[in-house]
A and B are shown apart, each in its own frame.
Chain A
Amino acid sequence: MADKVILQIDKLNKWYGVTHANADVDFQLKRGEIRGLIGENGSGKSTLTSQICGIQIPTSGRMFLNGKEYAPKSPIDANNCKVAMVVQELGVLGTLPVSVNMFMGHTKQFTKYGILNVRTMEKAASDILEKYGFENIPLKVLTQDLSIEQRKLVELVKALSIEPDILVLDEITQALSHDNRQKLYKIMSDFVKNGHSIIMISHDLEETLELCDSITVLRDGSAVMTVEKKEFNLDELKRVMIGREVSAHYYREDKKASNSGELVLSVKELTTDKLQSISFDLFRGEILGVCGLSDGGIHDLGRAIYGKEHIRSGEILIYSKDGVKAVKRTKDITGNHGAYLSKDRDSEGLMLQAKISTNIQIPSLSKMASSCWFVSPRKLKKLADDAKKRFEIKCVSVDAPVNSMSGGNKQKVNLSRWLIQDLDFIILDCPTRGVDIGVKAYIYNLLEKEAKERKRAILLISDELPEVMGMSDRVLIMKDGKVSGMLSRDEGFAEEKIVEAMI
């Protein structure tokens, strides 16, 4: 048995200032194994993997690779020991071409007399991309011009290119489309067949259960449990992760579609560069799910309605108590009881360095100004404090920067600043992306309340099928920028039916 263990970690501790990010973690990874790491945000998953990969240095504890002491000082060090990682944040340099990124830190093999032979390097890069089935990624363009998904794939291939014994994947699948996920799964299973091992972190529990041979649960920095595939039990894992019973109520429980019959938003023959004559109506009190592949136009639809895409033809009408308004630009939405949440929370949503309170206040400022454009600091403070309380935002004070919070709480701030307004409808693009399971459940609960109790309309765009099926009254399915189907909750959403319409 002992020779099967490739990585052994004994009593690993990592302190950040006063916080114990990893506490006495013991960990064993076998050859040919896919190990899932699960835990809530801030439970120490990324801390653990970044120590394995030399990004962070442990405060104490020892690691053994193939029975030999292993203490990487840098990611290159780790690479040399055949350990590679795809990090959660983007780990490529945007201003360099793909091929250079691919061999970053390993360009010596193409260098002669101090001169880099770009042509051989590009050839090698294209060979590798082809080998893993991603030949459609262009090599010569700057990495920043690729989509997030493509950049992630470049990172993946880059990690694979050193032919590692251990591959660490930190939250890679959420950036990938359905097709590329399938490719990734194939790559992973081929990879472990050769006796290599994978450690993967994912917020998608179903996926983790499906892919992994064993799962380690982290909570508050400690590894609290490791289970083998045959003992997997979703509810048990959830309970261990959170350390308490998860409420059975995760998605909606009712099986009936409902709305108040009052029209709020009407999209007619909307056509943009990516969309082709999309039409639908959104009613007060309903959740209309939009699903499809990532490049099928679902995100573009949200952006187009919000006035962020050039509209070629068609119209968008808002029906509010102030009458009917045609939407021409973003202001027409926010000025008429509408809101939009981008899927890219950190760049298109929040001001990360600014205070939590500022982030909550900004969208409401103009509506709060009294005569002489005066906005009372006291009222503003109250607005932020109320939002904090109402949406159970976990922070020391609303004066702390948003960046000091976990992803889930950031998303609560992002949601709260719109939901405190007098809204008729809100467009949500992947509202639970990168959010831990506790907050996820909270958001689902919140959405149901907003729609059913407060009678608001929600357009829920998501690439997570279970989420859309679990929450929506109706589901609009998109494919190649067109509507390819519309289903109602009354009929019961059949996954096969939806997937069929998507692909």
Chain B
Amino acid sequence: MKKSKKNIDIGAVMPLIIFFVITLAAVILTGGQVFAVNNILNIINQAVPYLLAGVGMIFAVAMGGTDITCGSIIGLAGTAGAYAALNIGFWAMFPAAILVGAAVGLLNGIVISKFKVPSFMCTLAMLLAIRAVLNWWLQSQVFICNEQMLKLDNLGIKLLIALVVLIIFGYIFRFTPFGEYTRAIGENELAMEFTGTSVSLVKIVAYTLSGLLAGIAGIFVVVRLGGASNTMGAGVEMKVMLCMFLASIPVQGGSGTRIYKLIIGVMTYFMLDNGLTLLGGTSNVNQLIRGVILILALIITRVAIEKNEMRNIKRAAAEN
């Protein structure tokens, strides 16, 4: 009995504690305003694109890589979606955005797996390149969402789609060989190659899925904004990464990578963001406070994990 007590996964518990502390603080300081129905809906509304992009990124992160192209993919896919909806027809919006996202992801996957370019470098370069393509496209053209498109900016639809996506990709990540392979690559890529599995193929599929999901997120971002803009999605990639860190998803990937952790991380971030906004204060001050709190949260988590690891190492050494 004692043993199982010791084996609590601190990495999974700490983010939850931090989430509750931040929520509690927000509730107390705002006098309960954060829990107003409208506000909760607002938080969820803001969080959905980040959640979608995060679920995509998690496949890359599980492999010990990263995919920070999502910010630009959101911009380009959103714009492509708007273009298709306005020029071809409303329903063309979805395949257009998804295909653009998946295509960029596929390109990432090929460069990373076939040419052995580290994923951070490749997706960073792609982030800049895709943003440039978007700038060039929007220089000459303006896309304003029509009414039918704006109807998509509806919390019910968003939640439904987000839920469906979460379930499908959660399933893929958790219950299919492919999902297991991504985590196994994070554990030991070389050993994975020695099992006869095509690591390249897994990587290509993973980055394609990541791009595809960023594409879906792009649809929501563009309809919320009401039109295509060249700053659309900028910075999303870093915030998603921050959410992952908050959720103590291991940077080196592997079996500790879990989608529920990501959800906790995203909710923590937006609870904090929202609480600070409700409290008023200038945005500069808020950003500073937000930064300080996030750093503190990360330090606390890190220390807790480290202590736990030390204990585990000692125990493992003892068992040998």
Contact = CB atoms under 8 A, between A and B. Distances in A.
Interface in A487-502: none
Interface residues of A, number: 44
A369 interface: yes
Contacts of B196: 330-331, 333-335, 363
B219 to A, nearest CB: 26
B318 A362 contact: no
Nearest to B256: A353
Contacts of B175: 373-375, 377
Contact of B184 (A330, A334, A335, A358): A358
Contact of B193 (A330, A333, A374): A330
Nearest to B314: A17
B317 A16 contact: yes
Interface in A350-404: 350-355, 358, 361-363, 365-366, 368-369, 372-375, 377, 396, 401, 403-404
Nearest to A396: B3
Most buried by B among A334, A353, A362, A403: A362
Given A42-B320, A377-B175, A330 B180 contact: no
A42 B320 CA distance: 5
Most buried by A among B175, B184, B196: B196
B316 interface: yes
Interface in B274-320: 314-320
Contacts of B190: 347-348
Given A42-B320, A342-B194, A362-B195, A351 B177 contact: no
Nearest to A361: B180
Interface in B176-207: 176-178, 180-181, 183-184, 187-188, 190-198
A406 interface: yes
B254 interface: yes
B30 interface: no
A21 interface: yes
A374 B254 contact: no
B184 A354 contact: yes
A353 B254 contact: yes
A18 interface: yes
Contact of B314 (A16, A331, A352, A374): A16
Interface string A404-433: 101000000000000000000000000000
Interface string A2-33: 00000000000001111101000000000000
Given A342-B194, A365-B180, A396-B3, A354 B255 contact: yes
A401 B256 CA distance: 12
Q: Dominant SS at the B interface?
A: helix
A18 B196 CA distance: 40
A15 B183 CA distance: 35
Nearest to A407: B320
Contact of A374 (B176, B181, B319, B320): B176
Nearest to A395: B319
A100 B206 CA distance: 42
A41 B176 CA distance: 37
A340 interface: yes
A349 interface: yes
Given A396-B3, A406-B320, A348 B194 contact: yes
Contacts of B320: 41-42, 404, 406
A372 B178 CA distance: 11
Contacts of A404: 316, 319-320
A477 to B, nearest CB: 26
Contact of B198 (A19, A331, A374): A331
Q: Which 9 residue pairs spanning A and B have beta carbons closest together?
A: A334-B196, A16-B318, A19-B318, A351-B187, A365-B177, A17-B318, A373-B176, A351-B188, A330-B196
30 contacts: A16-B318, A17-B315, A17-B318, A18-B318, A19-B319, A331-B196, A331-B198, A334-B195, A335-B196, A348-B190, A349-B191, A350-B188, A350-B191, A351-B184, A351-B191, A352-B188, A353-B254, A354-B187, A354-B255, A358-B187, A358-B255, A362-B184, A363-B195, A363-B196, A365-B177, A365-B181, A373-B172, A373-B175, A374-B176, A377-B175
Interface of A: 15-19, 21, 41-42, 306, 308, 330-331, 333-335, 340, 342, 347-355, 358, 361-363, 365-366, 368-369, 372-375, 377, 396, 401, 403-404, 406
Given A308-B194, A377-B175, A406-B320, 5 more contacts: A16-B314, A18-B318, A19-B318, A19-B319, A349-B191
